């Protein structure tokens, strides 16, 4: 058996080259089909994300698995690149190192943002695409099923996924959810067209937010964004009215001074009653006068507040990393032991089967020469032959079982197979 990964990631490859190596979902199937033609009998899973492109491949016969150069040549041909441009950027891990790497990636311990949740679903999607193209097999199936199990164990037994470190995720999980128990009945007002506002709104919609109002100085832009977010656009002059009915506000304009002053907010809050208002002021300079945060039932957070929370979470998440890596290491050793045991089991079974035929032939030859033996004597002779075979096999089989716990070298299994002329 041989299992390997050849690839590149944000650790060692600039984004310009990763972009050229990336596979769109539409082209993954084409790449997998080409792989099967070029490397028949070699299983493959192709993982392509914004931060990595990795080719996981495996085969029962180690000799048929392509080396790093041949994988580089395959990638270069597919994308129309020069192989020499890729070689220095591609890493290669084999067998236990490759399994350890896969488990680390699936558990989001090798991600640009440690513990980010998207990578596990991307790993599962990559395996599903390969399975649909009939490019997987027993080895990749076992490895990727184990990777999903390891990732779930890391998520369950450590807090690494519960420490959010992006500003939008912290804004929703660590702040908004402390104020509101539910979001499906809340009115969200988005002011401006910043990317961070869009990402924050995406998190809120995942939590159930459905009623969204978009306010922008350019009404055409407000209409455009409202269509993307399934919201309602309003004119800039209607900002006060929108704030009067809002429960959550996300503001990311590029204004040089506050767009809502303390005096202005006093007029707005008269029509709000006692309803709490959660404001994420993600603009620099700030869009809301800081004095507004001193008003009763107003929860105003600036970009600095969120960044400080992100940094605290990042420090806490880093403390969880050693424990998560211990889980990955334990599961890697366990997986490899299972694979070695399976490989040894096949050889053990063949050794036993290989001695059965000559034993039966010699036994029958002896019994034919002793036709006057009674049944009891015949049974005793048969048991003696069985004991002899078992004694001959005991030490080599015990050694194989012991070695399988630590990993049997392929050369040893190959040597045994050739020595005893075992079938494949």
Domains in the chain, start-ordered, CATH in brackets? 2-163 (3.30.460.30), 167-309 (3.40.50.720), 337-419 (no CATH)
Question: What letters, b where the CB count within 10 A reaches 16 and e where it falls short, cover 121-142?
Answer: ebbbebbebbeebebbbebbbb
Active-site pick, 50, 57, 89, 310:
50
Cβ(188)–Cβ(250) under 8 Å? yes
Question: What letters, b where the CB count within 10 A reaches 16 and e where it falls short, cover 19-39?
Answer: eebebeeeebbebbeebeeeb
> Under 8 Å CB-to-CB from 59, ≥6 apart: which residues?
1, 2, 41, 42, 43, 65, 139
pLDDT in tens, 295-309: 989 999 988 888 887
The residue-averaged pLDDT of 134-146 equals 94
pTM: 0.64
Q: What is the pLDDT of residue 56?
A: 97
13-18: which pairs have CB atoms within 8 A and are 24 or more residues apart? 13/89, 17/85, 17/86, 17/89, 18/50, 18/51, 18/52, 18/53
Structure tokens at 266: 């006093």
Query: Of 116-120, 121-125, 144-148, 332-336, which range is least confident?
Result: 116-120
Residue 149 has a CB neighbour count (10 Å cut-off) of 14
Q: How many Å separate Cα 252 from the centre of its chain?
A: 32
pLDDT in tens, 35-71: 999 999 999 999 998 889 999 999 988 889 999 999 9
Query: Catalytic site residue 8?
Result: no
Q: What is the pLDDT of residue 178?
A: 85
């Amino acid at each position: 058996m041989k299992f390997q990964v050849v690839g590149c990631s944000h650790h060692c490859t600039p984004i310009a080259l990763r972009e050229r190596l990336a596979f769109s979902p539409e082209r993954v199937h084409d790449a997998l089909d080409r792989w099967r033609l070029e490397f028949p009998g070699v299983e493959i899973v192709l993982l392509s994300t914004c931060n990595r492109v990795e080719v996981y491949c495996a085969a029962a016969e180690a000799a048929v698995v392509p080396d790093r150069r041949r994988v580089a040549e395959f990638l270069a041909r597919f994308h129309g690149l020069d192989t020499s441009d890729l070689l220095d950027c591609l890493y290669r891990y084999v067998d236990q190192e490759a399994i350890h790497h896969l488990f680390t990636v699936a558990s989001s311990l090798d991600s640009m943002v440690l513990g980010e949740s998207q990578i596990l679903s991307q790993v599962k999607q990559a395996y599903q695409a390969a399975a649909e193209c009939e490019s997987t097999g027993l080895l990749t199936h076992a490895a990727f099923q184990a990777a999903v199990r390891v990732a779930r164990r890391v998520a369950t037994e450590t807090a690494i996924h519960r420490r959010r470190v992006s500003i939008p995720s912290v804004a929703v999980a660590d702040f908004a959810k402390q104020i509101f128990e539910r979001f499906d009945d809340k009115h969200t007002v988005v002011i401006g067209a910043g990317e961070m506002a869009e990402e924050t709104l995406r998190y809120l919609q995942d939590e159930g937010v459905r009623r969204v109002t978009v306010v922008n100085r350019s009404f055409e832009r407000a209409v455009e964004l409202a269509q993307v977010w399934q919201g309602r656009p309003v004119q800039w002059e209607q900002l006060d009215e929108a704030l009067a009915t809002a429960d959550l506000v996300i503001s990311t304009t590029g204004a040089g001074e506050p767009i809502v002053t303390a005096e202005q907010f006093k007029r707005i809050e008269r029509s709000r009653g006692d309803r709490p208002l959660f404001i994420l002021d993600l603009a620099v300079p700030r869009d809301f006068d800081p004095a507004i945060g001193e008003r009763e039932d107003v929860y105003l957070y600036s970009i600095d507040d969120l960044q400080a929370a992100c940094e605290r979470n990042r420090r806490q998440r880093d403390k969880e990393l050693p424990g998560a890596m211990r889980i990955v290491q334990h599961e890697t050793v366990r997986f490899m032991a299972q694979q070695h045991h399976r490989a040894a089991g096949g050889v053990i079974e063949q050794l036993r089967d290989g001695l059965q035929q000559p034993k039966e032939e010699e036994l029958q030859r002896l019994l034919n020469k002793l036709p006057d033996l009674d049944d009891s004597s015949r049974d005793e002779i048969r048991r003696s032959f069985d004991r002899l075979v078992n004694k001959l096999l005991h030490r080599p089989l015990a050694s194989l079982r012991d070695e399988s716990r630590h990993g049997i070298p392929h050369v040893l299994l190959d040597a045994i197979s050739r020595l005893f002329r075992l079938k494949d």
